[in-house]
Chains A and B, each alone.
Chain A
Amino acid sequence: MPRDSLVPLADEALLVLYANGDPAAARVLTARLGPRVLAYAMRVLGDRAEAEDVAQEALVRLWRVAPDWRQGEAQVTTWLYRVATNLATDRLRHRLRRRADPLDDAPDPVDSAPGAEAGMIEADRMAALQAGLAALPDRQRQAVVLRHIEGLTNPEIAVIMEIGVEAVESLTARGKRALSAALAGRREDLGYGEGD
């Protein structure tokens, strides 16, 4: 099937085509889901190499489960976010265990899409946001990223994080308060005037 004709299809339909051996479905799904899961992993992990590993592994698991995918049970993106969240949590725990190692390098800053001139301030702002996110407890960070950057609903996040909706609300609220506090002193530094 031509690739362009697959673009309007939902992820679930594309996954069925993928499982039926349609090579165009593999390309469209990869282009659609790869950057998305990578962006999420980078926000949560703050490290490109680790995020790429997590995103790649999450997608490999999706390809493997495709022939047995039960339609209507879960959204592909929700399933993928959940796998990526679990993989990222494993990485974060592993990182905690290694923290005693003084040679352990700090995560690379997350680099966003390059801008031109305004890119400097924007890069500063994104770096500040990433630093604030990195300072949050892991679960708060995951919830805040899923809610406020990935744009998911609280029930979706509850499924992804395997917790109740109220727990999600609590995590995102506490995460936002902590971020606000961390960034409050940097308002002018980040190009926000008093009136902004």
Chain B
Amino acid sequence: MGKATEMTDRDPLLDDLFRQARENPPVADSDFMARILADAVALQPVPRPVVAAPARRSLWSRLITLLGGAAVIAGLGSAAMAGLVIGYVQPAPLTNLADSFGIVEAGDSVELLPGLDGLLTEE
């Protein structure tokens, strides 16, 4: 049963009544509309506040955390600076102490670049 049946069942009077019914639907009164709007408002979900995603951490930030925090980094930096100063200044008490342990300096200086002195003396 399909379109063929619908075609044989066509009734102009009924079709006209259906058309009028479509064009003139029952009217929803204002009380009903107010009730259903009140329901809609009462049952509407409350919007959730927008929460910012956690900021992406920089490489330095992650490195500091990895090494144990800012205080540890400061300690490491201080120790490195102290080592540089001591190595450069070579204070007498420290060199005496090193001598007493038998630590002998290999030489005062080492020339890593050849000078021009040899060339000058030949002339």
Contact = CB atoms under 8 A, between A and B. Distances in A.
A149 B40 contact: no
Interface stretch (A19-27, A95-103, A155-163): A19-27
> Chain A interface residue count: which class?
35 or more
A58 to B, nearest CB: 10
B115 to A, nearest CB: 81
A42 B21 CA distance: 12
Interface residues of B, number: 33
A101 to B, nearest CB: 26
Contacts of B13: 180, 183-184, 187, 190, 192, 196
B41 interface: yes
Nearest to B12: A196
B85 interface: no
Contact of B39 (A23, A60, A192): A60
B18 A148 contact: yes
B18 A149 contact: yes
Interface in B1-44: 1-2, 5-6, 9, 11-14, 16-18, 20-22, 24-28, 32-33, 35-37, 39-41, 43-44
A64 interface: yes
Interface in A1-51: 18-21, 23, 26-27, 29-31, 34-36, 38-39, 42-43, 48, 51
B104 interface: no
Given A111-B27, A113-B27, A169 B17 contact: no
A30 B33 contact: yes
**Main SS of chain B's interface residues?**
helix
Given A19-B45, A34-B32, A180-B9, A149 B26 contact: no
B24 A112 contact: yes
A21 B21 contact: no
B47 interface: yes
Interface of A: 18-21, 23, 26-27, 29-31, 34-36, 38-39, 42-43, 48, 51-52, 55-56, 59-60, 63-64, 66-67, 110-115, 122, 125-126, 128-129, 148-149, 151, 166, 169-170, 172-173, 176-177, 179-180, 183-184, 187, 190, 192, 196
Interface of B: 1-2, 5-6, 9, 11-14, 16-18, 20-22, 24-28, 32-33, 35-37, 39-41, 43-47
10 contacts: A20-B45, A21-B46, A26-B40, A34-B37, A48-B26, A59-B36, A113-B27, A151-B22, A169-B5, A184-B13
Given A23-B44, A35-B27, 7 more contacts: A21-B46, A23-B41, A34-B33, A59-B36, A59-B40, A176-B6, A180-B9
